Amino acid sequence: MMSADELYMHRCLQLALNGEIGAPPNPMVGAVIVCDDRIIGEGFHARCGEAHAEVNAFASVSKADERLLSQSTLYVSLEPCAHYGKTPPCADLVIRKGVRRVVVGCIDPFAKVQGRGIQMLRDAGIDVTVGVLEQECRWLNRKFFTFHTHHRPYITLKWAQTADGVMGELGGGPLLISNPATLRHSHHLRATNNAILVGWRTNVNDSPSLTTRHYSGPNPRRIVYDSHAETIPQLLSRLYSEGVQSLLVEGGAATHSQFLDLGLWDEIHQELGMPRHREKLLLSNALFERAAHRLSAKPVPISKSCESEAAIKSEELGVKPQTKIICAPKLDLLPSWQETIGTHRILHYYNYK
pLDDT (0 to 100) of residue 173: 67
The pLDDT, as a whole number, for residue 237 is: 98
Helix, strand, or coil (residue 41): strand
pLDDT of amino acid 32: 98
Query: Facing residues of 158 across strands?
Result: 269
Identity at 62, one-letter amino acid code = S
13, 78 Cβ separation under 8 angstroms: no
| 54 included as an active-site residue | yes
Are the beta carbons of 194 and 245 closer than 8 angstroms? yes
Q: What H or E segment, with its residue span, contains residue 179? A: none
Local structure of 208: helix, strand or coil: coil
**What DSSP letter does each residue of 52-88 carry, written as one string?**
-HHHHHHHTS-GGGGGGGGG-EEEEEEPPP-S-SSS-
Across the chain, which has 353 residues, the per-10-residue mean pLDDT values are 96 98 96 98 96 97 98 97 82 96 94 87 96 97 96 97 85 80 95 97 90 95 96 98 98 94 97 68 39 43 35 44 74 93 93 85
Alpha carbon 317 to chain centroid, angstroms? 34
pTM equals 0.85
Other CB atoms within a 10 A radius of the CB of residue 98 amount to 12
SS3 196: strand
Residue 61's pLDDT is 98
Cα separation, 248 vs 225, whole angstroms: 12
State the catalytic residue, choosing from 42, 54, 271, 309.
54
CB 117 within 8 A of CB 79: yes
Mode of pairing for the β-strands spanning 195-199 and 246-251: parallel
Give the per-residue pLDDT at 181: 93
Residue 94 · residue 69 · CB < 8 Å: no
Distances (CA, A) of 163 to 43, 177, 294, 335, 337: 44, 10, 9, 15, 17
| Nearest partner of 220 among 235, 204, 209, judged by Cα | 209
CB 255 within 8 A of CB 203: no
Per-residue pLDDT reduced to its tens digit, 250-296: 989 999 999 999 999 999 999 999 876 533 433 334 334 444 454 44
238: phi then psi, degrees, rounded to nearest 5: -65, -45
Contacts of 296 (CB under 8 A, 6+ apart): 270, 272, 331, 334, 335, 338, 347
Q: For position 17, what pLDDT does the model report?
A: 98
The candidate with the shortest Cα–Cα distance to 269, out of 350, 165, 153, is 350
pLDDT of residue 3: 96
Q: What is the pLDDT of residue 171?
A: 66
**pLDDT confidence of residue 313:** 37
What does the pLDDT read at residue 205? 84
C-alpha count within 13 angstroms, C-beta hemisphere, residue 332 = 6
Sign of CA dihedral 44, 110, 258, 267: negative
Cα–Cα–Cα angle for 154, 204, 170, nearest 5°?
Answer: 100
pLDDT at 9: 98
For residues 189 and 20, is the Cβ–Cβ distance under 8 A?
Answer: no
